[in-house]
Structure 1
Amino acid sequence: MTDAPAHVHEFDWPDRVVIGTVGPPGARTFYLQARAGTQIVSIALEKQQSALLAQKIDEILDQLSTLEGNRHSVPTSTPVELVDNDPLEAVQEQFRAGTIGIGWDPTTAQVIIEAHPLLLDDADEDAVDDVAEAESEMLRVKIPVGTARAFTQRTREIVDAGRPLCTLCGYPMDPDGHICIIPEY
């Protein structure tokens, strides 16, 4: 049994929640960034975590929109006024996400995202204190349903904006060249 995190970066009604990237395609680092007033928290994610997060949130919203006449007013598409295409704000990585949980708060009609740091199995003795400190925090963000739709749209666009895939082998192509590896059958 693990202890509760010592420090929770909590955003109950954030001003902004987005996924964005730093770096060129092929070498991008994905970040989940939340801001409320002057408090900004950025956590690093894998591209696949970002894509899966958007997919799962959309699944929750789609399911909720069909319940009892959509009593939570879940939009079926992204409200235009909530589209956020601005770049990330100043990025200072808080931690790299390991486990990410998604939930629903029916009392406030918000999607909940909880991210916990990546656990290091092979931490050397010098890093044990740093690992323990990182593992003692988490990020919790609550997003209203319209903002959640805008979040998933932006996330899908960011994920899809990477390197184009080779039509022959399906692997990403680098701007400076590509060696096509076609599997043998």
Structure 2
Amino acid sequence: MMRQLYVFERPHRFIAGTVGTPGERTFYLQAVDGPRVVSVSLEKQQVVVLADRLEQLLDEIVARTGTALPASDTDTEALSQPIDEEFRVAAMGLAWDGDAGLIVIEAQAPADEPEIAEETLLEDVEDGPDALRVLLEPRRARAFIERARRLVSAGRPPCPLCGQPLGSGGHVCARLNGYRRGMPLNPAE
């Protein structure tokens, strides 16, 4: 299948954002450069993993080069409109382009076969799943990490017993064998 590769080199914006209320949010990665806007949806946990892996990569770069990589100003604006989902992210890859001094982030659509995903991730090939590839300066990557962490922590608070997100009406906690706080033990009460 012919691959659609959305490439952004040093975009004006590369952010994680959400649409919806906590508990019903849809997470997006969005790259913006001039009038060009590409949005891809992903899971909250994928945002967490991307931020963690970016931080590990940046820390390794600092350790190897001895160069400080502070964050640029963090983008606090909402996602750019319109938010038209190009695809749902199935796989992500990170790389360091030492010659250009840029971090390469690629988010890829689902592949028909796992081998195809592995062969095409971070590669310039004509066939394969669609992908969003962004090349960022390290300082912009640090700003992405800060925003992503704030975004994730702005969700529903975790249950102090099981760690699962609490809804406005509580939740059925596995640690309490299904008993809900505020609910009578006997439904007839």
TM-score under structure 1 normalisation? 0.81
Letter of the 2:89 partner, please give it: A
Residue from 73, 84, 97 that aligns with 1:105? 97
Q: Which of 67, 71, 83 is matched with 2:74 structurally?
A: 83
Distance 1:183 1:65 in 2: 46
- Give the C-alpha shift of residue 169 in structure 1: 2.4
SS state of the match for residue 65, structure 2? coil
| Structure-2 residue corresponding to 1:65 | 62
Rounded to whole Å, the distance in 1 between the matches of 2:174 and 2:65 is 51
* Counterpart residue type for residue 144 of structure 1: E
Using the alignment, how far apart are the partners of 1:165 and 1:120 within structure 2?
A: 36
After superposition, the C-alpha distances for 1:128-181 in whole angstroms (9 at most, x for unaligned) are xxxxxxx64211001101000000110011111111011122221001333333
Runs of 4+ that moved beyond 4 A: none
- 1:95 and 2:87 are equivalent in the alignment: yes
| 2:74 maps to amino acid | V
Find the counterpart in structure 2 of residue 53 from structure 1. 50
Give 1:181's match in structure 2, choosing from 168, 174, 185.
174
Are residue 116 (structure 1) and residue 108 (structure 2) matched?
Answer: yes
Give secondary structure in 1 for the equivalent of 2:29: strand
Aligned residue for 1:130?
Answer: none
Opposite residue 34 of structure 1, the aligned amino acid is A
Q: Is the 2:89–2:109 contact (alpha carbons within 8 Å) kept by the matching residues of 1?
A: yes
Unaligned runs of 5+ in 1: 122-134
Shift of 1:68: 3.4
Where do 5+ consecutive residues of structure 2 fail to align? Answer: 114-127, 178-189
Deviations 1:28-56 (A, max 9, x none): 11100001110000000111111000000
Match for 2:69: what amino acid?
V
The structure whose Rg is larger is 2
Residue 139 (structure 1) aligned with residue 136 (structure 2): no
Q: Which residue of 2 aligns with 1:148?
A: 141
Aligned to 2:24: 27
Counterparts of 1:64 and 1:179 in 2: how far apart (Å)?
Answer: 44
Write the distance in 1 (CA, Å) between the matches of 2:25 and 2:110. Answer: 18
Return the alpha-carbon distance in structure 1 between the equivalents of residues 36 and 140 of structure 2.
Answer: 19
Q: Are the counterparts in 2 of residues 116 and 137 from structure 1 also a CA contact under 8 Å?
A: yes
Per-residue CA shift, 1:99-127, capped at 9, x if unaligned? 11011111221111111102468xxxxxx
TM-score by length of 2: 0.79
> Shift of residue 183 of structure 1?
6.0
* Distance change >3 Å, CA 24–CA 62, structure 1 → 2: same
* Mapped partners of 1:86, 1:43: distance in 2: 17
Distance 2:103 2:176 in 1: 42
Give 3-state SS (helix, strand or coil) of 2:41's partner.
Answer: strand
Q: Identity of paired residues, percent?
A: 39
Contact 1:169/1:183 (CA < 8 Å) preserved in 2?
no
Give the aligned length.
162
